[in-house]
Amino acid sequence: MCYTQNRFNALLSACVLSLIATAGWSQSLTWLGTLGGNWSEAYGVSANGSVVVGWAENDAGQYRAFRWTASGGMQDLGTLGGDVSVAAGVSADGAVVVGWAANDAGYQSAFRWTAAGGMQGLGTLGGDVSVAFGVTADGAVVVGGAENDAEQGRAFRWTALGGMQGIGTLGGGRSLAYGVSADGAVVVGWAENDAGRRHAFRWTAAGGMEDLGTLGGDESVAYDVSADGAVVVGGAENDAGYQRAFRWENGVMQGLGTLGGDESEAYAVSANGAVVVGTASNAAGQWHAFRWTASGGMEDLNTTYASLLTNGSVLSVAYAISPDGRYIVGSGYNAATLREEAFLLDTVPEPASLLALGAGLAGLIRLRRRKR
């Protein structure tokens, strides 16, 4: 090959390496700290990984909802007049945060927070208490649970136009919603059946509340749903009475296994339903954060990303994942601070991105050769 061709290929390779470096394609683990106390947990992450929400202990030992950004750090979102608050979900752009906070009467109240409006209480279904867990991609629909006038906790779906609407049960007295599809059409959670057992449900306005069953045991709970509402994840008892992470699709509940121990639970799923995260026990009885895919099964994030963990640090639980599956948040033990802390894990883009780039490079080389 002539000198000119060698030089051309070298320049192309250099360009590719430069693009990779510029895009920031490197794995990273960020411990998010606290608000002055000894504990924090992350429950939600924006689509691009720039905003993380959860709760953190302050220097007075109170739990406070936080919104974290790399530039601003951990921001205390306050309360509704009481001492405690927790942020449980965030919109895709990071602008809307939902959760619950103590009001001046000492009751928990579901809230929706924005920078412009601050923390706004969403009310109840007639009782004293409410909590919010999930929010749609655009921040317009909020789901959770609230007491009705009979002091029964009921799953709700809230919009600014319609307010808080109860979505029923499976025949029992109580229900609670945890997750909602990107457009707000599908809601998931748990509800009591007529035997008083908690079962995972999937709700739509047209079909009402569908019982998703169990893995052979008595109870189950759904925590999250894919963007289109087709895939549901959570935890269910098997016939031996152990809690196991599940993935439900097209009427079939699939157990996802463990990390060598007895139990597991799935808390979140990517937008396309392909990646599931949660926590599972290993053979030593320790709880470790996991990621599951159909091709790779259940993997321990502590093993996969061991190079990012300082000696003694542990990723205990993964609570949320970005829509594209790149960013994972949760909580674990930070050996550097000797604290239980929220974390943000950047797992980098899918290998397909690199393969596409490599194919482009090969095409340019072939084109160059044809022109010679």
Q: Is the pLDDT of residue 10 over 90?
A: no
Q: Which CATH superfamily is domain 28-349 in?
A: TolB, C-terminal domain (2.120.10.30)
pLDDT for the residue numbered 352: 45
3-state secondary structure 133-162: EEECCCCCCEEEEEEECCCCEEEEEEECCC
Model confidence band, residue 93 (pLDDT cutoffs 50, 70, 90): very high
Alpha carbons 210 and 202: distance in angstroms, whole number: 5
Residue 350 Cα distances to 39, 93, 125, 134, 292, angstroms: 32, 21, 43, 26, 14
All residues at 6 or more sequence positions from 303 whose CB lies less than 8 Å from its CB, including other chains: none
Residue 85: pLDDT over 80: yes
Is there a contact between 55 and 87 (Cβ–Cβ < 8 Å)?
yes
Q: How many C-alpha atoms does 196 have within 13 Å on its Cβ side?
A: 0
Instruction: Reply yes or no on whether the pLDDT at 161 is more than 90.
Output: yes
pLDDT of residue 365: 37
Enumerate the β-bridge partners of residue 186.
Answer: 204
3-state secondary structure of 18: helix
For residue 24, the model assigns a pLDDT of 47
Give the tens place of pLDDT for each residue, 313-369.
Answer: 999 999 999 999 999 999 999 999 999 999 999 998 545 444 444 444 444 434 444
Q: What is the pLDDT of residue 26?
A: 82
What is the reported pLDDT for 48?
A: 97
Calculate the average pLDDT of the chain.
90
Provide the percentage of residues in the chain whose pLDDT is more than 90: 85
- The structure tokens listed for 113 are 């927070």
Residue type, 148: N
Please give the average per-residue pLDDT across 202-230, as a whole number. Answer: 98
What residues have CB less than 8 Å from 103, skipping those under 6 apart?
Answer: 79, 80, 81, 82, 109, 121
Q: Is 254 exposed, middle or buried (0-12, 13-18, 19+ CB in 10 A)?
A: middle
Sign of dihedral through CA atoms 132, 270, 74, 336? positive
